[in-house]
Each structure stands twice: as structure tokens, then as C-alpha cells.
Structure 1
Amino acid sequence: MTLPDPVVGAVARQAARLTERLRPLLPAAPLPAGSDAPVLDLDLYGDAALRDPAATWAAVRDAGPAVWLPRHRLFAVGRYADVRAALKDAETFASGDGVGVHPLANRLGRRTTISADGDAHAARREVLLRSVGARSLAHLKDDVHREAGAVVAELLDAGAFDGVRDFASALPLRIVADLVGVRVPREQLLTWGRATFDGLGTANERGLRALPGALDLWAYGRRLRRDAVVPGGWAASVFDAADAGDITPAEARAMIIDFVAPSLDTTILATAALLHHLATVDGLWARLRAEPDRIPAAVVESVRLSSPIRGFTRGVTRTTTVGGTTVPAGSRVVLLYAAANRDERQFPDPERFDLDRRPATNLGWGNGPHTCVGIHLAKLEMQALLRAMVPTVEAVRTGPPERLENNVLQGIARMPAELVRAGAAGVTP
């Protein structure tokens, strides 16, 4: 089903080594003419930035409303008000030339919904919403809640488990992977999704090593035909839209990426972070058990803090200002959702989990015309797990999490965990 990639993989590894060797010899890109932005010598996609994201986001926010990153030849925006305003102004901050840093990744993303503007974006988004919009998901609620109950029951019996593999990945892999409706192993979807996000970063070693996987997904979509997808699945729905003339056949094949990449990884990372918060935020789980109507707020606040997407880029179509700082036309800007969601200018005590925060201000699912189409599905899955836990789980325990290192995604890769059955002897809630 997938392309053999030993040659592509070998080339990517060699290119990565060459890139790392040449990096110190490459001159830093000067601030573009006409801009008065501060210059910040930060490797946004380097190991240090990924391992200490809080310090990275603070450095960007403190430097200014829009800062020039000479290593990556782009501007970074990390303050909440500025990121939100840019997301709402899709004419100035356009997605049509891709939302990554790497030009090849942006090229591969052509005809996807995330890499579109105007009428093309509206048409593709409407097709996706037929499958994952709030109304479309109504018939899935019972199945999701039933499966969530089964997951919780299994993990209560299991004792120790991995919070990412066994808890956070359960509903996406048991339900969503099948709904996508492509005839590939579920784990392959995860591999493709993670590689695609990694490839949207810069051409560092991490991004180049992800290239074979991203190319494989792209090639799979290019050759996909209706007879290779499950009738009635989400993938089939885009072919139905092409038959109806709503989109082109080429768009339909490319839009498979819209289902595969965003529908699994981001929800898995958000759910793993939620489990960690339940175990580590003092009194949180006890309050949710006592006040289950606060479960939706807990999901939103957890996504604010975890922000599974670090940020996407936009192309600047006309000279504009960000917080009073000039950004010239033709520039590329990375809008850092994760930095904005911890901006003290918007959120008092932003590092604290606050169940009573106003949820509407969260940028974890983006904002504006490109707000994540899977937002309702993600909320449904996360809320279903918590509701299944309320009657049977008295305490949540987690061990030290291992951070995921990905150019665009952030979160937990592995984490020991345990659900303690309600009424168990010796339990301290």
C-alpha cells in the first residue's frame, strides 16, 4: 500500500547531515527592508526550543509583537491579540502558498483545505464539514460514549498503562481511523500524520527525516481512487463532492491529507495532556466528579495549556503592521498559537490550569476562517472519556511524561499512568 522508500530515506539522511554541517557557514538573513521588527537569534525548531517551550514562547513574546528570526528567514508572532487578529485577516495573512516553513512541504500541500484561500478554501472546507461538522457528528455520539466507556473499563482492569498509547490514542484509532475510510493500517495513519507535521517545519534533520513519510502520504493521495476507499467513509465523501462538481478530482485526492493528518495526532496529544492535568492539578479531578457540567471547560482549558499545534505560517500579501511593527509584503510569518495561549497580556497567571477561565478565548484550535474543522470531534472524544470516568474512577495517577519532539506538534510522546477504581481501599482522592 505504501511506497518503498529506502532510497528516499537514504537521501533524506544524507541531506540532513549536509544541512547540519553547512548551517554554521550560512549567513543569517538580514531584516527585510522596510521593517522595524526586533531581531531574535532563536532556532524555533531546534532541540533546545522544543524541550523548553515555555522559555521559547516567552522569548518571542517579550521581544516584540512581530520579531524577525534570521535563522529561518521569517517573522514570528506570539502575542495573543496579534495572533488572533492575523488569523481573522486571511486576506493579508494568506494560506494559499502553504502553512509550513519548508517550500517542499508547502508544495505538497497544494489543493488541501489548510493551504487554500477565498472561494477554494470555502468550497473545500464545506466538503469536510459534511463529515466532521457538529451536525454531522450527531449520529456518532452514542458510539463514541459507548467506546469511551469500554476504554475506561479496560484500563481500570489493566492497572498500569501508557497514557498516550492506551488512553489518548484509543478513540482516534478505534473510531476515527475507521471513519476516514482508507484501506491502510491504523498505525500507518499515525506515521503519515506525524511525518507531515514534522515536515512543515524547517529543513533541519528532524524535518528531512520526516520527508519520506510525508512524500508517501502525498503519493498515496495522488494515486487514490474511489474503488480504493471504504463506501460511506469520509474519504468517499470527497469523491462524492468531486462527482457533484463541488471540487475537482485532484482536490478530492489531495484532501485525503486533511483527514489523515489533523484528525488523529492533535486529538491524541490534547487528550494525553488532559490526562496529565487530571493527575497533577490539585483538586481538578475531584471537582469534575462533583461538577461534571464543568467537563467541557476542563477540555478547553487543557487544550489552551497544551496547544498541540505550535504554530503554522502564513504568507503576507501586502505590507501591514502587527502591533505597530511593520511586516513587508512577501514575508512569511509563523503564527504561534502555543505562545499566544500562554500570553500574560490575555490570561492572568497563564501557566495555571483555571477551570473558571472564559473558554472562548482559546486559540488551541485556531481562529477565523481556518479554525480547525475537527474541533467538534475532538471535544466529543475528550469529553466522552471524562464522562465515562466520573462514576468509576476515583483518582488519576501519572508518571514523568516524555516529551514529543516534532517541528510543528508539541505534547507528550509516552507517559506511565493509572486509573484508580472508585471505592478502592487506601485511595486518597
Structure 2
Amino acid sequence: MRRTVALAASSCLLVVPTAPAVAQSDYEIGRTEWQEAHFPQARPPLLSHRSMRGGRTAEVDYMLETSGCRISGKREWGSRVLNYILYSYPLSRAGRQIVEHELGRCRDSSELTQPETELAMLAPGATASGKLWYSGEANPLPAYPARAVRPVDDVLSGVHRVQLDDPDAYRTVLDRTAMPGAKVRVAGRFGVVSTGGQSEQQLQEIGARLESYVDFLHDSYGLELPPTFISIYLSPTNAELTKAALELHGLQISPSTLGYAYPEDSSVSAMVGGTGIGTILHELFHLILRDQYGDMPQWLDEGIASLYEVSREENGAYLGVPNWRGALLANAGDKRPSLREVITSPWFDFDGVSGGDEVGEKGARQLALARYFALYLQPRGKLAEVFGAFRDRDPGAADDPAEEAVAIVERVAGPLARLEPDFWEWFDTIGARDDNNLPGVISKQLPPH
């Protein structure tokens, strides 16, 4: 049975499987060969698995790079992939230390012994948190790590991923997992389960909006949609969301958590009392992206996801608009981060357990800049192009993946020496403007503070 870990995503949670959900044969063959120190034999099936859906994980890349470091002629490639892992994946503190230690060993000219094989240590652990959520006035709303309070096997016995060609089985699953008194609606690839008091008309509108949104993600970013139904669980308050997370997924979450995605059953749960589904759009991006590309750098992953949490829809296209995150930058003074600082930052510690250094207000400002850089690139037609360039990276191509990231941005959007002043000149025309809850805007329901 696969072990599951939880990973913070913006002010929400993303619960991520540490072992792959696809291509088990290649994965199992490669991992077995790797565990037995047959490194030349491990590399081909692991590379094959990595090229398939769900194959880009820190675990797979770690096995690949530690194999490369122990294969004649592949040592430099292996050390590059180690650096890539440090930049491109969220790691636990112990996991970061393991990768850094292996990087030092790989760069050493001496013969290498067996690498660290406790792969579960790479991920942020069996618990994770939503990071501190900051309002426009930079007031912290504390969140603590989500805790798995039921055994994973027990949780997974009650949730399932159901193929799109079996709607009857899917409806049976929804009826069984729905909270008492919940409304259940299945339309297209989505099932919406709500205790939020929405009318049938509102649930229909939400379902249609979600179909439109995932079609947009497919058309704009080339993201393939999962072959399973996607379940959306709506709760009207943080307290109800907390209760639902415990009963449905065995998670004890912070009362200030806005939502989370659970890939094991292709679901998103969020606090939504009406039709303000911005949190759902945010989490859906994470769910669909990480089903295929688990190695997207944090600034781009979070930047795009948060872009659509407050947005407008125009002729099938979704366009992010300013929201409360702008106030974090407008009021930052000389603490404003630079574009280079954000682009080169590895996954940092916004969950209290992963191995980066940025926390609190500084981390919130970096994520705010990530969103506003996406907002800046959007009307210039560069956002999807930047995404595609990062999607197509070769993990072993660059000695320094952070500098490679700068080079990618500059190749697509222009030199940072020009982008930086142009960005801030543009930003100062917007500043702390917040379009959340304006007419015609897809808004995000926020907790009281």
C-alpha cells in the first residue's frame, strides 16, 4: 500500500501520494533494481516511468540521480539531478539533508557506497500544514500541520478514483461518502457534494464553471485531464470543512484552512458557502498539474494556481485580476522581494515541516510576488510560454537549476534587468487594489479575521 503525505499549497492543503499512481511495472522494476544496487539496470525503467503521467516525483528523481552517480560516465548528470531536486521539489528537512549529503558524495571522486534508501524521508512527512494565511493588512491567521489521525489503509478503503466510463459506480461512491444532508450533483466529469446550502441552480452553475475551467487549463497549458471523475466537497464554514476532512479523509486540519486536494480519490474540499469557488480553482490547478508534473518550481506552481483564485471568465478564457495579495507587496517598503529572488528560490518552508528557510511574512510576500508576476505575464501572452518552457526542462541539463530558471524566464520574457523595473512600474498602477467579490469576478471565500 502506498504511503501518503500531506503538503501545504498556498493557504490550502495538498495531500500527495509519495509513490506513483501509474506505470507501476516500470516503477517497481526500477526501484527493486535500485534497492539491490543494480544501478545501470535501475536507470532505464525509472527513466521510462518518469516520462509517464505521475512519474515526476522527488523519489523517482532521487533514485535516478543516485543511480547516475554510481554509473560510469553519468556522475556529472547525477549531481545535476540532485541540484534539480533541491530546487524543484518540496522536501522535508531530513530529506533536504539527505539530498545535500548525496550531492557532496557524488561530487567527490571517491567510490560511492549504497545511497540512503529511506525514501519516505524525502517528503515533508506524514503531517503537513497550510502556511500562515495573510490578509491584505498582513494579519496572520495561524494554521498548524494537518495530521493524519486514521491509518492510511483505513482512509483509502473508503475513497476511490472512479473511471469516467462508470458513472453509476461513481454516484454510489458519492452517496456513500456524502455528509448527512448533503446535496449531490453529478455532471460531466465532476461530482459536487455540498452541505453549504447552495440551490440546485447554484450547483449546476458551479459544475459548469468547473468544466469550463479545466477545459481552459487543457487548452492553455496542455494539461491532460485525469481519466477519473473529480469530486468537489463544499462546506459552508471552516468548522464544517474541518469536520468533513476528518470524516472523509482522516485529516485533522487547522480551523483556518481554506481547502485541500486529495489526489488519492481525485477530490478537492473547500470552504464555499455560495458560488465563490476561487479556492476550488486554485486547488484544481494543483491537482491536475501535479498529476503530471510534480517538479514545477514553487513560484510558478503557486503563482498560476493563485492567479485564478480571483479571476474573470471571458469567452472561455480565465483572466486573473488583482486581489488582497497585492497589499502585501504595496505595503512591503524595502522588504519587497525581487523577481530574481523569487525565481531562484527553492521550495521554501511555508508548511512548518519542509526544509526551506522562508517563513511567515517573508514567504507570504514571495508567494504574492509569484502571483503578481503571473498576472504581469498574462496580458503579454508570456505566461503559458513560460510554463511550457519549465515543463520541458531536462533535469540533468544544468549545473545550477536556479540560474537555469532565470535563463528560461529571460529567454521567453526578456532580461531581468528590463523586466524588474517594468514589472514594478506596472505593479504600482495596481498596488493594493482588490477585485475579490466584485460583480462578475470569480471570488475566493476567505475566513473571518
TM range (shorter): under 0.3
Higher helix share: 1
| Structure with larger RCO (C-alpha < 8 A, sep 6+) | 1
TM-score relative to the length of structure 1: 0.26
